[in-house]
Amino acid sequence: MDTSGLTQIDPNCWLAEPDGGMRVPAIFYADEALLRGMDEKVREQACNVARLPGIVGASYTMPDAHWGYGFPIGGVAAFDPDEGGVVSAGGVGFDISCGVRTLTTGLTRRDVEPIKTRLVERLYRDIPAGLGATGRISLNDREMDAMLKGGARWAIAQGWGEESDLERIEETGRMAGARPDCVSDRARRRQRNEMGTLGSGNHYAEVQEISEIFDEATAHAFGLDLGGVVVSIHSGSRGLGHQIGTEFLTEMVAAAPAMGIDLPERELACAPLRSEMGERYLGAMRAAINCALANRQILSELVRGVFAALFPGCRLKLLYDVSHNTCKEETHRVDGIPRTLFVHRKGATRAFGPGHPDIPAWLRDIGQPVLIGGSMGTGSHILVGTIASGDRSWSSACHGAGRNMSRRRASRLWQGKQIVRSLAKEGIIVRSPSERGVAEEAPGAYKDVDAVVDAAEAAGLARKVARCRPLVCVKG
């Protein structure tokens, strides 16, 4: 990205003044190297977001940002319904509530290392992965409605997990306000047999070692020890979320002129929050969030089954589950006054700090875990939310390393077999149904995750707690 025309506020914060119809500034959180490495399109998209009706504060961009659909991936924006604010299907994205959850195992690398190959083969056998993969669950219409309303709570009621998991999931496992009646028959058909499946692309189930701890007290509170083993699962709302995004984008683009909305680009398709269409989209999107929460809950139980079989007596404990690609109604202080805003996080993580009333009691003095996914060959990070991020980014932080090249370019540069062999030499065993998918997700296709989290910490968006190194990975 060309930084000319941007005002550098501090080493990790840059500002584009309102121009050409922008209602608010665009703010980029990144150090200079990360910012210069971003596609020019990121700046254009962030500035376009700043033109949408009812936007409050600024259009924010996280340090892992890259070119997305409408919003940049790593884009955050809040809208006030009382000021004509909108909800944007492009601002939420297609993989609604794609997210990460991490489970602690109580095991160490020494326990896992001797049977790593058996472990990854068993995970690959028991977790359906890849484009169009189906699971052992098939939902009829009544069960689909219950799942779309109940989220992870529904999954646990079906035997997929335990009640204690719920306080460790955003929204305590169930997004209120879901409207299954706003989910089309086609979206339902796509999801009927996909519960408990990983998906494709950058989705994964990864066994990781805690390789570094930055904050002993917080790590201890999270149940993390140096050398300990955790499992991270990255997946979303599968075909259902994608279908909802596709349908509402088309509908919002067509209806925009009649609703008096001048779209900077069609991918920013949106509708007023206080409109029949806006309310229908929110209802369907919340149902998709519940679908993703239920899906990750089922995947967790499949992983738990594998560990229980290979390590008798082992029961994995959920650390936390965070969602990306959402629009959530939250209360934030604007100029010292609390206001109800609808916060879009497109490829960004909620990061509530200590004392926030919407995080569970056990985290109230600590802050919310912020789980940063890496690629299968580089590390992941566990951070914690800060109070400062409330003013700086509507309590949001980055969600991963962020791509530094397209999937097409990555698949031209690498071959899947080559990546698997290369990682095996580093002690990381990968299984995937798609060699092309592995090539597209090659570690070299992503930014330096350590630089991304360093920038997030320096900007005050979240604070580093621990770094994780991959041991085995099932890639979608």
Q: Quote the CA–CA distance of 256 and 70 in Å, as a whole number.
A: 15
**Burial (Cβ within 10 Å: 0-12, 13-18, ≥19) of residue 108:** middle
Cα separations (Å) of 247 from 160, 184, 241, 319, 330? 31, 9, 10, 35, 26
Query: Which candidate in 66, 203, 242, 399 is catalytic?
Result: 399
Strand 317-323 and strand 348-350: the pairing is unpaired
Q: Is 324 a catalytic residue?
A: no
Label each residue of the chain as H, E or C. CCCCCCEEEECCEEEECCCCCCCCCEEECCCHHHHHHCCHHHHHHHHHHCCCCCEEEEEEEEEEEECCCCCCEEEEEEECHHHCCEEEHHHHCCCCCCEEEEEEEEEEHHHHHHHHHHHHHHHHHHCCCCCCCCCCCCCCHHHHHHHHHHCHHHHHHCCCCCHHHHHHEHHHHCCCCCCHHHCCHHHHHHHCCCCCCCCCCCCEEEEEEEEEECCHHHHHHHCCCCCEEEEEEEECCHHHHHHHHHHHHHHHHHHCHHHCCCCCCHHHCEEECCCHHHHHHHHHHHHHHHHHHHHHHHHHHHHHHHHHHHCCCCCCEEEEEEECCEEEEEEEEECCEEEEEEEEEECEEECCCCCCCCCCHHHCCCCCEEEEECCCCCCEEEEEECCCHHHHHCCEEECECCECCCHHHHHHHCCHHHHHHHHHHCCCEEECCCHHHHHHCCHHHECCHHHHHHHHHHCCCEEEEEEEEEEEEEEC
- What residues contact residue 197 under an 8 Å CB cut-off, 6+ apart? 127, 128, 129, 133, 134, 135, 235, 238, 295, 299
Of 145, 193, 149, 198, the closest CA to residue 171 belongs to: 149
Q: Are 247 and 187 in contact (CB under 8 A)?
A: yes
Catalytic residue ranges: 399
